[in-house]
């Protein structure tokens, strides 16, 4: 099959979508040919060695935008000018196409040529429509792009939604749109790493200092952006600190420039006031593993997610998680280990954090529930997606 990695093969970012696409790249292995739309050569082609190296790299805090080296741009233009484009285009006979990324209008305009490379089914992965549900907390460019993107998904034969909530959202949007003959939409939930990275032993180089037994650490992992609701979390913690509760809030995640600046400003204010608030920004997987090992429990205050990987990553390490009981987050929480809240506002978050800080037995019970759970691996996810492609029928082209 063909696996479209047009964006991820040109960025070192490690956001949720990039983690998903890199996992497919790894676990589909020889079953898939990774491809990209090369705007300089003017064709869809297989990835080159430098793009494979980008996929293997992945860097904490890297920019989300795609970047093409000057040499790659020049090489593509030269090959196009010298008539080499056609023989570098996709030439094999794949069984189908998987497009796991949130694609740009330019990629969308060229999808018919990608689809023409195979007579097999065409699958897109759909994450969420949060841009339309919470436009005031989403970058304006993303909000403007979404209606077109959701229409363009209609040309696929199947759409793999990453949660039941995402599946229902997409079908409801198409119904509102009045679309007919829509693709089949299947909920295929995301996954986590096969084995969470083991934390470094206390005292070894790079390991965190031993936690003060008198001060519990509350961890939150996720980018600082509007819908992640860090402002409510910070104000909830400030209420608890003002009441005399002694704990440290450890924040991990890069700050999104357009919608995360208010949360970052509030964080800095609390630090300046002497509150025990640690902010590490974007860090490596090993550093995140150490943060999980050092915390008492986690809080994921997000208002809305397509899936919510940090919730399951916390539970897989036996750490209870406070999160929303609504939507996709509620799906992740329902099998145990979470203190799931009907609302993730300031009073609810403050009450939940205080409850777990002041009741070690309740914390232990949630931890035990988390450890009894089993979790899907990325290999499971890749296998399920490949299996669905094999049984999916190709619809007549709508053009």
For residue 322, the SS3 value is: strand
Q: What is the pLDDT of residues 187-244, one digit of tens each?
A: 999 999 865 544 434 433 333 444 445 689 999 999 999 999 999 999 999 999 999 9
* Contact between residue 338 and residue 365 where contact means Cβ atoms under 8 Å apart: no
Q: What is the pLDDT of residues 38-60, one digit of tens each?
A: 999 999 999 999 999 999 886 66
CA angle 336, 381, 133 (to 5 degrees): 70
Q: How confident is the model at residue 65 (pLDDT cuts 50, 70, 90)?
A: confident
Q: What is the pLDDT of residues 87-106, one digit of tens each?
A: 788 866 788 999 999 999 99
Q: Mean per-residue pLDDT for 367-396?
A: 94
Which domains are delineated in the chain?
A: 2-191+378-391 (3.40.50), 216-372 (3.40.50.2000)
pLDDT value of position 87: 77
- Neighbour count for residue 269 (Cβ, 10 Å): 13
Longest dimension (CA), the chain: 73
* Contact between residue 281 and residue 192 where contact means Cβ atoms under 8 Å apart: no
* Contact between residue 282 and residue 224 where contact means Cβ atoms under 8 Å apart: no
* Contact between residue 365 and residue 337 where contact means Cβ atoms under 8 Å apart: no
């Amino acid at each position: 099959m063909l696996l479209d990695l047009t964006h991820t093969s040109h960025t070192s970012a490690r956001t949720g979508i990039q983690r998903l696409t890199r996992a497919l790249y790894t676990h589909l292995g020889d079953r898939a040919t990774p491809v990209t739309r090369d705007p300089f050569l003017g064709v869809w082609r297989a990835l080159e060695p430098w793009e494979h190296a980008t996929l293997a790299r992945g860097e904490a805090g890297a920019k989300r935008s795609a970047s093409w080296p000057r040499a790659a741009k020049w090489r593509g233009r030269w090959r196009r000018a010298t008539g080499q484009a056609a023989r570098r285009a996709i030439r094999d006979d794949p069984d189908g196409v998987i497009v796991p990324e949130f694609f740009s209008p330019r990629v969308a305009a060229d999808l018919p040529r990608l689809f023409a490379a195979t007579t097999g089914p065409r699958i897109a992965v759909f994450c969420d429509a949060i841009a339309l549900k919470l436009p005031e907390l989403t970058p304006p460019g993303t909000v403007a792009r979404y209606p077109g993107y959701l229409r363009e998904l209609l040309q696929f034969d199947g759409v793999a939604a990453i949660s039941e909530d995402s599946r229902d959202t997409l079908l409801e949007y198409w119904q509102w749109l009045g679309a007919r003959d829509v693709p089949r939409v299947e909920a295929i939930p995301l996954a986590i790493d096969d084995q969470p990275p083991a934390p470094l032993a206390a005292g070894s180089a790079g390991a965190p200092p031993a936690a003060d037994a008198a001060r519990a650490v509350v961890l939150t992992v996720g980018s600082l952006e509007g819908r992640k609701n860090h402002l409510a979390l910070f104000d909830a913690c400030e209420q608890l600190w003002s009441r005399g509760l002694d704990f440290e809030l450890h924040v991990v995640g890069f700050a999104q420039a357009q919608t995360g600046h208010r949360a970052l400003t509030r964080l800095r204010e609390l630090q300046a006031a002497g509150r025990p608030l640690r902010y590490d920004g974007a860090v490596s997987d090993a550093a995140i593993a150490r943060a999980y090992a050092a915390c008492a429990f986690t809080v994921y205050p997000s208002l809305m997610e397509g899936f919510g990987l940090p919730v399951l990553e916390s539970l897989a390490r036996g750490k209870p998680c406070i999160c929303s009981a609504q939507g996709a987050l509620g799906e992740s929480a329902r099998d145990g280990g979470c203190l799931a809240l009907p609302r993730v506002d300031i009073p609810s978050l403050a009450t939940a954090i205080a409850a777990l800080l002041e009741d070690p037995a309740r914390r232990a019970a949630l931890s035990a529930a988390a450890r009894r759970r089993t979790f899907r691996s990325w290999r499971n996810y890749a296998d399920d997606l490949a299996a669905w492609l094999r049984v999916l029928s190709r619809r007549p082209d709508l053009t």
